[in-house]
Each structure stands twice: as C-alpha cells, then as structure tokens.
C-alpha cells in the first residue's frame, strides 16, 4: 500500500520516495504527495526526478491499494530513488476549489435541505449537482453571499482520521454512512470549524480565507438534478 502523504499535508510540494513497481509508463511509489483522481477532484500533475532525468506525471489513479503515476516516458525501474515535485499552482487552485465546494454545498443544504448528487472540480471552473427541483437567481445570490461570508470569517480547516464506529455514531456524519466502503476501519474527516464536517479524501486549504471570492458563473435547471457552476478568485 502506498503511503498517502497528501492526506496528512496538502501543502507538501516535494518529497522523496522509492519506486516499488514499474510497468512501462505506470509507476508505483512507496509513498507519494500526488493526489489521485477521486470523487470529482482531478489528479495532481508534476514530475518525478531520478538520476538527473525528469519524468512528467500526466495522470495519477488509485488502483486497489496502489497509487499509479503515469509518466511521459519509460526509464524508471523498481528500486530507483526519486524526488517528486508537485505542480503547485494547479494543486493550490484545486485545494481552494474543493474547500469552496464544501462551503457552498453546506450553505445550500442548510438553507434548502438539498443534498449533493455529484461534483466536478477544475482549475478554471467547478460544478456542484444538487437534488433540488429548481434554483432561482435571487436565491443563488443569497447562497453565494453567505458562502463568501464564511470565507471572510477565516475559519480553520482540520483533517483527522477516526475509527469507522466513531464516524457512524456522529450525528453530523451518520447520514454519510452510504459513502463508507465496506471493510474500512478508519475514515478521514475534513472539518471547517463550527460550520461543517464531511468524509473526504481530497486536498484542502488550512483557512477559509485562502479560498478567495467564490463567484457564481451559471446554473443548469434540469428537473431534479440541477447544476451550479462557479470559480474562485
């Protein structure tokens, strides 16, 4: 199993690791700060450096207990020492987008009762899907205004690992039990102090003020699965 450094420190930009498996362009390391594609969050990009040769990381996926790094050329082999370097501009933008999703979705859930049915982050714009029949423009303005108030309050954001039983007994998280994979013993929880707690394996900023302004872009009202698009500045 790959040691997932990004779960403990989203701000880790560089790291040292060993190649444990190399299959052409597919590389598995003993530990990594590269966040794989997961639950609407795109993977990190960057590079692996070994013996003075740079290998661009073009995709990262979690496959079983392994995190597979797809590189642009062959050459790495099992046992090689590598230095990993994250594309920080991309990572930090996705961190802000991901935290913005938590803030905005929590505001809308508290005001309407709507639940998220999906989301997709990107560096230029992101999307959240809700099981709400219709969004009105004047209501959206209030949602975004409230979300930006949370940003301005500069609330701290914490991540921690808890036993599954503790998470299931937490009334604020119990409704998310369907998201817990069978057989898991521990769960990672992301908490925005005094505001929100969610089960989550993605990367986030440390304080809400880092998100910047959450700007409404557009809405798609299509029955019971409606989409809101936004960006962060």
pLDDT score, position 181: 65
Same domain, 151 and 170: yes
Task: Give the span between the Cα atoms of 153 and 233, in whole angstroms.
Answer: 17
Q: Are residues 114 and 133 in the same domain?
A: yes
Q: Specify the pTM.
A: 0.93
Q: How confident is the model at residue 179 (pLDDT cuts 50, 70, 90)?
A: low
Cα-based angle 80, 82, 85 (whole degrees, multiple of 5): 160
Which pLDDT does position 43 carry in this prediction? 98
Residue 118 and residue 225 in one domain:
yes
What's the pLDDT band for 193 if we cut at 50, 70, 90?
very high
95 closest CA partner among 42, 47, 146: 42
Assess whether 80 and 153 both reside in one domain. no
163 and 56, same structural domain?
Answer: no
Spatial distance between the Cα atoms of 19 and 84, rounded to a whole number of angstroms: 11
Give yes or no: residues 99 and 181 share one domain: yes
Cα Rg, the chain, nearest whole Å: 19
Number of domains in the chain: 2
Structural domain containing residue 205: 91-232
Q: Indicate whether 128 and 44 sit together in one domain.
A: no
Looking at the structure, do residues 175 and 129 belong to the same domain, yes or no?
yes
């Amino acid at each position: 199993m790959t040691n997932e450094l990004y779960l403990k420190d989203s701000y880790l930009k560089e790291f040292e690791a060993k190649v444990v498996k190399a299959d052409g362009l597919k590389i598995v390391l003993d530990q990594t700060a590269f966040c794989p594609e997961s639950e609407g969050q795109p993977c990190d990009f960057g590079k692996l450096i070994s013996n003075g040769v740079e290998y661009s990381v073009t995709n990262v996926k979690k496959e079983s207990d392994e995190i597979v790094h797809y590189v642009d050329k062959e050459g790495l082999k099992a046992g090689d020492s590598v230095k990993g370097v994250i594309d920080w501009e991309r990572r930090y933008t996705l961190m802000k987008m991901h935290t913005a999703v938590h803030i905005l979705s929590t505001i809308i859930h508290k005001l309407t009762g709507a639940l998220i049915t999906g989301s997709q982050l990107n560096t230029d714009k992101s999307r959240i899907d809700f099981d709400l029949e219709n969004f009105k423009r004047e209501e959206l303005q209030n949602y975004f205004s409230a979300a930006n108030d949370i940003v301005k309050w500069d609330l701290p954001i914490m991540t921690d690992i808890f036993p599954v039983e503790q998470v299931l007994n937490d009334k604020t998280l119990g409704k998310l039990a369907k998201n817990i994979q069978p057989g898991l013993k521990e769960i990672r929880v992301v908490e925005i102090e005094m505001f929100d707690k969610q089960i989550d394996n993605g990367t986030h900023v440390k304080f809400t003020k880092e998100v910047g302004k959450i700007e409404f872009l557009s809405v798609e009202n299509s029955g019971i699965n409606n989409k809101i698009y936004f960006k962060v500045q």
